[in-house]
Chain A
Amino acid sequence: MRHALAVRVGPVGFRIGSAWPSPVAASRALYQGYPAPEDGIPDLTVRLYPERPWRRWLRPSVAIGGDYWLPDAAPLPLAQALLAAEMGMNLQVALGWRRHLLLHCSAVERDGRVLLMSGASGSGKSTLATLLALSGWRFLGDEFAFVSLGDGTIYPFPRAASLKNEAVAAVRAAGGIVGPVLEATPKGTIGYWRPPADAVARMAEPAPPKLLLFPRFGEAERIEAMAPSETFVRLTQASTNYVALGQAGFSALTRLVQGVPALTIGYPDSAAGLAMVERLWREA
């Protein structure tokens, strides 16, 4: 590809190639300060290319591909190319990574232990992770938790947090700097929050999990313990590579659900959610 960026996030070395300069420039700014892939060799490649040859110039339309692809991935306008690059990175990890058990979770660390938060889009897991990082927790990631197949520790994947709609204002109100912000994307307004330098500097430092939460934003305050068997089923659904990993995935996931308490928490707003998380963390 004519324009390219190579960058490492946690254990993953990426190469982002693009037919246009602007997506690479936007990604380069977002990942400023991140290291290059180990030995200069990327693990996964993202390709941003015109949906049709003439769509490189005429109403440019960015298709997302790479080592792995989905047939129904919709192209995005060039103005949203940063979102295309970020979605492309997620797609490649989700479909291609086999060295860890991947869970669709946000993760933060304090006192050497990890808090995992799992939930669908809109559950608040990215916002809570970002707000916790702004109050002293180490940010490990808002998209994937990388569970070691060997010892069950959680490896950081500290990409920029992807904040949607009201979460942008919530993080700004807490003193976070959000930018760039993309309006009117298929997912609504999306703002990117760059992790602190400490999270990037310590991206190779794993830590064992201590607590797993399933947050539900916008609900009345409630806390419910989740049975290990239900947690197990939920996390198989939240993993993009559980089936592909076979026995190694089974062993990693059963160890996690046996060793880490899981709770569903409902919370009406970010302040209430943060207070609940801090309290549950102390009691865990």
Chain B
Amino acid sequence: MRAPAIVYAADPPAARIAVALDALVAVYHRPSGVTHLLAAPSPELLDALADGPADAATLRDRLAARYDLEGDADDRITATIDARMEEMIVAGLAWTT
């Protein structure tokens, strides 16, 4: 039996200010007052959560609707999404529901 997928959530986009500096995006998180430097696809994942809490597969579909995700198998993409979301949970930018 497969473990239920982890469902992620984040503050709405208005809770953050994002400024693309180069390959890295500076993100000011208003609720905590903490500044983060994020690389793709983390800022995009946070934005994708604006449509509501989602698991990695749903986030993959939301990203695919906006970006070209060619080149990787679906399970590798969802594994990457899980890894990035785990980092953002540790940083205080996201949580699980």
Binding site for B on A (CB under 8 A): 227-229, 232-233, 236, 243, 246-247, 250-251, 254, 257-258
Residue B37 lies at the interface, judged by CB distance under 8 Å to chain A: yes
Can you sample 7 A-B contacts with CB below 8 Å?
A227-B22, A229-B23, A229-B24, A229-B26, A232-B26, A247-B30, A254-B21
Q: Are B37 and A254 in contact (CB under 8 A)?
A: no
Residue B4 lies at the interface, judged by CB distance under 8 Å to chain A: no
Q: Are A250 and B35 in contact (CB under 8 A)?
A: yes
CB < 8 Å neighbour of B26 from A243, A246, A250? A250
Q: Are B35 and A236 in contact (CB under 8 A)?
A: yes
Classify the interface of chain B: helix, strand, loop or mixed.
strand
Minimal beta-carbon separation of A186 from chain B (angstroms) = 33
Residue B95 lies at the interface, judged by CB distance under 8 Å to chain A: no
Classify the interface of chain A: helix, strand, loop or mixed.
helix
Binding site for A on B (CB under 8 A): 17, 19, 21-24, 26, 28, 30, 33, 35, 37
Q: Please report the number of residue pairs spanning A and B whose Cβ atoms sit closer than 8 angstroms.
A: 32
Minimal beta-carbon separation of A259 from chain B (angstroms) = 12
Given contacts A247-B28, A247-B30, A254-B26, contact A228 B35 (CB under 8 A): no
* Given A247-B17, A250-B17, A250-B35, 8 other A-B residues pairs in contact with their CB atoms under 8 A: A228-B22, A229-B22, A229-B24, A232-B21, A233-B37, A247-B28, A254-B21, A254-B26
- Find chain A residues with CB under 8 A from B33 CB: 243, 246-247
- Find chain B residues with CB under 8 A from A257 CB: 21
Shortest Cβ distance from A246 into B: residue: B33
Minimal beta-carbon separation of B51 from chain A (angstroms) = 25
**Complex: how many Å from CA A243 to CA B33?**
8
**Complex: how many Å from CA A233 to CA B38?**
12
**Complex: how many Å from CA A229 to CA B33?**
19
Q: 3 nearest interchain CB pairs? A: A229-B24, A228-B21, A250-B28
**Complex: how many Å from CA A232 to CA B21?**
9
Minimal beta-carbon separation of B38 from chain A (angstroms) = 10
- Find chain A residues with CB under 8 A from B23 CB: 229
**Complex: how many Å from CA A246 to CA B30?**
8
Minimal beta-carbon separation of A65 from chain B (angstroms) = 28
- Find chain A residues with CB under 8 A from B35 CB: 236, 250
- Find chain A residues with CB under 8 A from B37 CB: 229, 232-233
Q: Which of A228, A236, A251, A257 has the most CB of B within 10 A?
A: A228
CB < 8 Å neighbour of A229 from B17, B21, B28, B30? B21
Shortest Cβ distance from B33 into A: residue: A246
